[in-house]
């Protein structure tokens, strides 16, 4: 995925095509094929016809406006959390904390919205967006600092912080901010339009204008990672931290920056619920979308475009589970999501090995000629 250079030779281009095939295209396809087989088996254990179930899944998601709206809504959150994981991963860091970063972002947005009261939307919406980024970014920065300063594993720190941050937010809500008899804050005045406002067909679905923010975030992440100097440094640290350090990059600072940025993007994901859907912060609203972000980034091969596509795929599965629940338990899709992750993560090294082995006889004469 290096920048396209004008003077690339044919051999380099062929090389790049092969890398793209073995890194980006084949593993997700292999994974989907495996998931399809596992899905068939699960459906058969319930004595149903796989064809009928998968047809029902598609019908309940892409074939009607409500289902499609729900897919878009879920894909919005997953795009943010997928991008968040990818930004960390590109710097060689595993941010497993998107779940709490997203919650912290949503919480900060709700608090900002409450503080602003009835301020006009032109002021309130940007402030809430900024608050979400700062809230998530602050939670994300902590493991970055601990890694840079003390060498603490960001995997463990982000996992542990998930529990700490969620417990802290639950305490603040329960002790100070909840509406009696509920686990959520009062409603805020700020909000963005929902798709249902535009067309009656989407009535009831939660999709909203934060969708556009997610697409903008994907575009911005692509620009940052592949077209700016800090983004280049970030990727350099991810590929070869020692070499980057030798080349004059402050690796610790890049780690902190990458984790803060990753957390900020995850924090923006909280807006989908708080600013776009319910207009309040509620305990547990993240509902696993932080963890699924790992899957989305993995299947999207840590590339913003791939992440948007993978977010749609995983959102379709999530929503599709509800659609087929009458025939097979909706938990089938949770199993399939796990199978997809497992299959991608195992097939990346395996596809590379198999492909290299297959290409070796063909590659040898070429080398001799050169």
Binding site for another protein (CB under 8 A): 42, 45-46, 94, 96, 146, 149-153, 155-157, 159-161, 163-164, 167-168, 170-171, 174-175, 291, 294-295, 298, 329, 331-339, 341-342, 345-350
Residues ≥6 apart with Cβ < 8 Å to 241: 92, 251
Least distance from C-beta 150 to another protein, angstroms? Answer: 5
Classified as helix, coil or strand, 139 is helix
Residue closer to another protein, measured from CB, 239 or 338: 338
Kindly report the backbone phi and psi dihedral angles of residue 194, in degrees, each rounded to the nearest multiple of 5, phi listed first: -100, 155
H-state helical runs in the chain: 10-19, 26-45, 50-61, 65-90, 98-116, 121-150, 154-172, 195-198, 210-227, 229-239, 241-246, 251-269, 271-274, 289-299, 304-324, 332-369
Least distance from C-beta 244 to another protein, angstroms? Answer: 19
Kindly report the backbone phi and psi dihedral angles of residue 313, in degrees, each rounded to the nearest multiple of 5, phi listed first: -65, -50
Residue closer to another protein, measured from CB, 208 or 318: 318
Residue closer to another protein, measured from CB, 66 or 291: 291
Report d(CA 11, CA 222) in Å as an integer. 26
Q: Which long-range contacts (CB under 8 A, 24 or more apart) does 152-158 make?
A: 154/88, 154/93, 154/94, 154/95, 154/255, 154/259, 155/94, 155/96, 157/97, 158/94, 158/95, 158/96, 158/97
Least distance from C-beta 89 to another protein, angstroms? Answer: 9
Report d(CA 66, CA 71) in Å as an integer. 9
Residue closer to another protein, measured from CB, 200 or 242: 242
Least distance from C-beta 222 to another protein, angstroms? Answer: 22
Least distance from C-beta 167 to another protein, angstroms? Answer: 4
Tokens 């599965």, residue?
Answer: 317
CB 96 within 8 A of CB 294: yes
Residue closer to another protein, measured from CB, 113 or 263: 263
Residue closer to another protein, measured from CB, 36 or 130: 36
Q: What is the torsional sign of CA 240, 243, 247, 250?
A: positive
Residue closer to another protein, measured from CB, 25 or 160: 160
């Amino acid at each position: 995925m290096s920048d396209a250079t004008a003077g690339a030779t044919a051999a380099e281009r062929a090389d790049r095509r092969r890398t793209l095939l073995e890194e980006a295209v084949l593993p997700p396809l292999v994974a989907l094929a495996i998931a399809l087989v596992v899905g068939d088996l699960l459906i058969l254990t319930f004595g149903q016809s796989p064809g009928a179930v998968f047809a029902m899944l598609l019908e309940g998601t892409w074939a009607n406006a409500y289902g499609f709206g729900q897919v878009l809504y879920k894909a919005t959150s997953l795009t943010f959390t997928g991008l968040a994981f990818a930004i960390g991963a590109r710097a060689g860091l595993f941010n497993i904390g998107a779940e709490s970063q997203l919650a912290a972002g949503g919480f900060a947005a709700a608090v900002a919205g409450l503080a602003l009261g009835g301020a006009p939307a032109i002021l309130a919406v940007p402030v809430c967006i900024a608050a979400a980024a700062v809230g998530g970014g602050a939670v994300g920065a902590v493991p970055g600092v601990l890694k840079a300063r003390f060498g603490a594993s960001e995997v463990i720190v982000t996992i542990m912080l998930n529990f700490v941050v969620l417990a802290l937010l639950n305490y603040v809500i329960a002790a100070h901010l909840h509406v009696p008899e509920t686990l959520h804050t009062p409603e805020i005045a700020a909000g963005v339009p929902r798709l249902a406002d535009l067309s009656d067909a989407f009535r009831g679905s939660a999709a909203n204008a934060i969708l556009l923010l997610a697409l903008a975030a994907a575009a911005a992440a692509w620009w940052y990672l592949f077209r700016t100097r800090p983004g280049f440094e970030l990727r350099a640290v991810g590929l070869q931290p020692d070499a980057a350090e030798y080349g004059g990059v402050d690796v610790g600072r890049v780690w902190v920056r990458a984790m803060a940025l990753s957390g900020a993007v995850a924090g923006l994901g909280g807006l989908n619920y708080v600013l776009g859907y319910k207009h309040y912060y509620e305990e547990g609203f993240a509902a696993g979308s932080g963890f699924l972000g790992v899957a989305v980034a993995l299947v999207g091969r840590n590339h913003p475009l791939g992440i948007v596509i993978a977010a749609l795929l995983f959102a379709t599965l999530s929503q599709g589970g509800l659609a087929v629940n009458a025939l097979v338990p909706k938990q089938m899709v949770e199993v399939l999501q796990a199978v997809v992750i497992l299959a991608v993560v195992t097939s990346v090294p395996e596809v590379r090995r198999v492909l290299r082995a297959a290409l070796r006889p063909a590659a040898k004469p070429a080398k001799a000629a050169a």
